[in-house]
Amino acid sequence: MRVSRIFSKSYSDLKVMRHNSYRLFSVEREGISYTGFNMGTGENVAILMLLELLLAGKGALMVVDEIELGLHVGAQKKLINELKEICKNNHSQIICSTHSDVILDSLPPEGRFFIETTHSRTLITPGISSKLAFGQLADSKTNELDIFVEDDVAKTIIEKFVDHKTRKRINLITIGSHTAVARQIAARFREAKLDFVAFIDGDKHNERDQHVRNIRSHIEKIDDEGLLNDFLSKRLVYLVEGVEHPELAIVKCLSENHNNENLLQLLGVSEEEAKDFLTQASIAGPHNEFYHLANLLSIEKNEARNKCIEAFAGISHNEVGKVRETIEQALRGIDRTAKTHSL
């Protein structure tokens, strides 16, 4: 009996009594018979939902407000499992609201929608994870996904490449070098903490095989080689891939597009000045590009870095798309993992 599975108690009988349009049910458990009037809220609501859905037959639609009402965590999971099975067999559908992360995690990502009203507008976010949903309810950053980068330049690139909603879901961590990033990947993999993505500067992309060997050596014992290979194919990514380090690659790209209106507005200079300043910055030496440009523009180094990366994001659609897809794919993977663990 479905009710027995939900509450882990042996229900031996269930009866439905009718009078005109009224309906009352009674159950028997451990030799004691009682009706809905004598039940706890959670037990009453769960049995009533099951009854209504089964009695409605095939193709039914049920709408439930706060479906977890009165149910402890274990019963919430089991109730959702029973309801999913009924809906699948009867081609029925349930639309419910919930304030329970357990309920949300028990549903497939495509069945989750976060609804919020801001400034008289209703915003609907599909496929949301429970961590993000309840972080937004609490008005706090959720940090669902750690992102490892080498330095503040890479951190700023990620920040400028993704939108506000994604920034609320990620935690950017500067590690210090590409070898340190590789060690961090190995440490997380050993601990089975796979909620991260690692970005190494693009000028190191030819060293990928060496990075993978370093990661393997730090892991020491690999139980599932296929899992590691699949994971690294999706979570070890090279940022602004090319032969130059990101600062130089960005400055050169902007120099080739020195007449870009957004760039000129950000830098506050003429087209001729932009071309001259960017050319000078490109020969300033490794990792000094933004510092030299800042001196030419009479602004702080961090401001020059931010302006250049913002302008680069506006014209480098392939790079932006690659970073966004990598992060979104990782977030979707976390959602699927949460679903698997909840069933």
201-228: pLDDT as tens digits = 999 999 999 999 989 888 877 877 888 8
Asked if the model's pLDDT at residue 158 lies above 70, the reply is: yes
- Average pLDDT for 245-259: 93
Report the predicted TM-score, pTM, of the whole model to 2 decimal places: 0.64
pLDDT grade for 338, boundaries at 50, 70 and 90? very low
* Residue 343 pLDDT: 32
Q: Where is pLDDT greater, at 183 or 304? A: 304
Asked if the model's pLDDT at residue 76 lies above 50, the reply is: yes
* Separation in Å, CA 294 to CA 57, 299, 322: 70, 5, 28
Q: Which two tokens stand for residue 340?
A: 């698997």
For residues 168 and 132, is the Cβ–Cβ distance under 8 A? yes
pLDDT grade for 277, boundaries at 50, 70 and 90? very high
Asked if the model's pLDDT at residue 339 lies above 60, the reply is: no
pLDDT grade for 197, boundaries at 50, 70 and 90? very high
Asked if the model's pLDDT at residue 336 lies above 60, the reply is: no
The C-alpha angle with vertex 283 and arms to 281 and 285, in degrees rounded to 5, equals 95
Asked if the model's pLDDT at residue 139 lies above 70, the reply is: no
Lowest pLDDT segment from 17-26, 46-55, 236-245, 246-255 = 17-26
- Average pLDDT for 151-156: 94
* Residue 155 pLDDT: 94
